[in-house]
Amino acid sequence: MTDAHDDLLDLAADIVQWRVPTEQWEKIGGLLELAAAALGEPAVLRPVLEELENEGPGRITKIGATPVVPPPPPVRDRLNQLVHALSGPKK
């Protein structure tokens, strides 16, 4: 497994615990799709990982901010698929 794959596996474990606005989950879901498509290409996967990391929850929540929610089912499904793909037999 490449370093990028290891990093994606670690990030997937973090993303499951994130709480962000619903609209942000849509972007994260799209980035997870890109990550899945780039699994065999570490040079392509690395920028996607960086963008995913930047989508994480902020440390400060402003009063009156958009409510934050856990990952919706489609995002959880994609995360589970990625973890399964990354944890499978090593090539």
Name the one residue in this structure whose structure tokens are 């440390």: 59
Q: Evaluate whether 21 touches 64 at the Cβ level (below 8 Å).
A: no
C-alpha to C-alpha distance for 52 and 7, rounded to whole angstroms: 11
Name the one residue in this structure whose structure tokens are 């498509």: 37
Is the pLDDT at 87 greater than 80? The verdict is yes
> In the prediction, which pLDDT does 64 show?
67
List, for residues 13-61, the tens digit of each pLDDT value: 999 999 999 999 999 999 999 999 999 898 999 999 999 999 998 766 6
Amino acid at 15: I
Tokens of 86: 């990354």
> In the prediction, which pLDDT does 62 show?
67
Q: What's the pTM? A: 0.85
